[in-house]
Structure 1
């Protein structure tokens, strides 16, 4: 056998084994898994892909963007994927009426959601390594080939965590990772889950596909069994995620504001959005004032403390004690349109800013805030959130502390 024949035979064997492993993995496993890390400096959360690349999670992002190498694949401007990518054109961005001397390449507009800046860049394709999971641990690594993504200039990385690789968009967009990681040919359910860690000591977890998902050490218990579901609302002009909140209550008492202000108006403004780039839940001013007033009344027996930016209401916690679910303060309920409640306990309502001071972790978004409310990451920490895109519904757990676990309980160490 000649050297050339040996090389050809080896290549054939490798290709066959790769194909077999891909087929086995798609039959045996129904979901991908990736770690989520918290950056305490920026309060942003990143998804780890390709073993070590960290992309900031953005529930509203239409696609993944990163700093492309010198040479990268181009995407034709006449392809449907290009036309789809260009449809997510932010008002922050310059016009797409760009004339290119080097042919018909797909020009898109990646956005930094923290600095609210934008750039003109090209759509490309890339390969991403991600791990299958059996729900307990990561199993086989899988190479997702030819995923669409946008290039981005270094100037767009301002305010991202140090060493960040870019932004991972997880919106309803067909180019978001939430969709590209769940293609029909792999026969996995089109859904994803995020579980944001409360500290930077150990990672949380993201799943793409179908469970079971095990989040309790040494217990064979699927975390989806504790989830409550509510419909995800579709916005006419945005791929972001909204839920139908009808009211807010504190210790069972309704906050006094007009319920209709939580709904979309005729211009598409309003509504209650979920965001992974907003650290604390933000309320439009007239909702916020009522909310703060009612919470202050409900905690009138607890000594006040001086304000600590960006918060307006802080408590002296030196004699308050604690519970399994955080500080013993009144519970906050988001009353949902389908009759369910998303309950927020002390672990997700009070931010400990010093040894003896904790502040109500909700902020004033201003009178003209686009959304009536934006649920931020502090309220999501150590909560399991399942975005079922096929069923157009959100599954939520409230704090996992109730069942004596956290978002850092998934076992990444034995892969």
Structure 2
């Protein structure tokens, strides 16, 4: 299994800088599968993928990258050098060639992406490398953990198809989980990974977030049969329902429509112009106050027989109970009669041995998005972003199918 994973991941490194070679190259595979890990040693739970970044001194260098559905391009811990020759790169360090501010790639990337953080200063062309008079191409990056602005240098990375990744200093990753030194952009940006993969890989991306630290989930790209043990003969995509992806101005993230939230037959309406965002950075689903309050009232009413407990921030409704609290489902009613069911394993967070809380957060009255679906609600759910036909697929809890995201069967991935 380990060899298969290595082969699957290494495929991403076979990239040519020659446009002609890129145009002619057709890889002998239809899918890419990468293990996905959960981290809880940062300010909030986060998820990463481990990939091969380079082949140095007869060995492959690996790095963990946070998955980010909003980032416009990949950025990570590396060093740029105008001239890379044997022995010039420090040991166990990734060195890459910089993109000059005079090259079209610099202008294209800067013109094609935008972070909405108003505190970020625009990049400039004042940066040069020691000993060289050529300008580099600084680009703005935003720390997905703290939201702070930073700067990275656009470069010619070898593990992405286009020169659209950027190098940031090691200090830029201090807020990240241990041994995580990059951001994997999985957004709809023309410079994110989905837009960079060769055919016949379809722009179909699946996420299955694990709920534990000890086991891995899965990130997949392309079309194949994806199986979860013990149902080795069942394609997990057969569990999916689909709803349209909605474009949002000035964002490369993913959005869907939610018509109402239903708790034990009572429907809570969502304003027609409200936006619902899918996030791999928010740990819990965030509801704007006008939606949060009626949801909390309704949930309190249907659980009134459960002894209450003092609220534990950031949650507003908690219960005095042992592990395994049983509560009603929460249904997100979507267009075309589709329903994403949030079961108790994705709605109740055990914060202490004796206290459990409804894992929803008040986003405030002026929240930009009415709903932001967080990672706790997606753990052990299988979700698919199909950029070919602009749809979002969701399974609801896989635990009800007697499986989980930790049971992905790598042995049934199509051979290459």
Q: TM > 0.5 between the two?
A: yes
Q: Is the 8 Å Cα contact of residues 127 and 137 (structure 2) preserved in structure 1?
A: no
- 2:216 aligned residue: 203
- Structure 1, unmatched stretches of 5+, are 1-22, 129-143, 264-269
Question: Are 1:118 and 2:149 matched, yes or no?
Answer: yes
CA RMSD in angstroms comes to: 2.3
- 1:316 aligned residue: 320
- 1:37 aligned residue: 37
Q: Distance in 2 between matches of 1:70 and 1:115?
A: 25
Secondary structure at 1:397 match in 2: strand
TM superposition shift of 1:294: 1.0
Secondary structure at 1:219 match in 2: strand
Residue 68 (structure 2) aligned to one of 58, 78, 81: 58
Residue 46 (structure 1) aligned to one of 44, 48, 64: 48
- Structure 2, unmatched stretches of 5+, are 1-23, 53-60, 82-95
Q: Distance in 2 between matches of 1:61 and 1:149?
A: 11
1:381-410: CA deviation from partner (whole Å, max 9, x where unpaired): 000010000110000000001111100112
Alignment of 1:258-337 (within 5 A): 259-260=270-271, 263=273, 270-318=274-322, 322=324, 327-337=325-335
Q: Distance in 2 between matches of 1:64 and 1:311?
A: 33
Structure 1 residues 153 and 24, CA, compared in 2 at 3 Å: closer, same or farther?
closer
Question: Are 1:89 and 2:114 matched, yes or no?
Answer: yes
- 1:384 aligned residue: 382
Structure 1 residues 412 and 210, CA, compared in 2 at 3 Å: closer, same or farther?
closer
Secondary structure at 2:366 match in 1: coil
Alignment of 1:69-88 (within 5 A): 69-71=79-81, 72-77=96-101, 79-86=103-110, 87-88=112-113
Q: Is the 8 Å Cα contact of residues 80 and 167 (structure 2) preserved in structure 1?
A: no
TM-score, structure 2 length as denominator?
A: 0.81
Q: Distance in 2 between matches of 1:414 and 1:341?
A: 30
Q: Distance in 2 between matches of 1:379 and 1:55?
A: 21
- 2:87 aligned residue: none
TM superposition shift of 1:89: 3.0
Q: Is the 8 Å Cα contact of residues 118 and 156 (structure 1) preserved in structure 2?
A: no
Structure 1 residues 238 and 24, CA, compared in 2 at 3 Å: closer, same or farther?
closer
Answer with 45-54 or 398-407: which moved more: 45-54
1:322-377: CA deviation from partner (whole Å, max 9, x where unpaired): 4xxxx421111111122211110000000011223210001111122111111000
- 1:14 aligned residue: none
TM superposition shift of 1:25: 9.0
Q: Is the 8 Å Cα contact of residues 382 and 396 (structure 2) preserved in structure 1?
A: yes
Q: Distance in 2 between matches of 1:389 and 1:207?
A: 14
Secondary structure at 1:233 match in 2: coil
TM superposition shift of 1:414: 10
1:250-282: CA deviation from partner (whole Å, max 9, x where unpaired): 112112x5x32x62xxxxxx5110110110001
Q: Distance in 1 between matches of 2:127 and 2:176?
A: 30
Q: Is the 8 Å Cα contact of residues 308 and 359 (structure 1) preserved in structure 2?
A: yes
1:135-174: CA deviation from partner (whole Å, max 9, x where unpaired): xxxxxxxxx5655201113332132101112111110012
Structure 1 residues 202 and 238, CA, compared in 2 at 3 Å: closer, same or farther?
same
Alignment of 1:141-160 (within 5 A): 147-160=163-176
TM superposition shift of 1:100: 4.4
Q: Distance in 1 between matches of 2:225 and 2:259?
A: 31
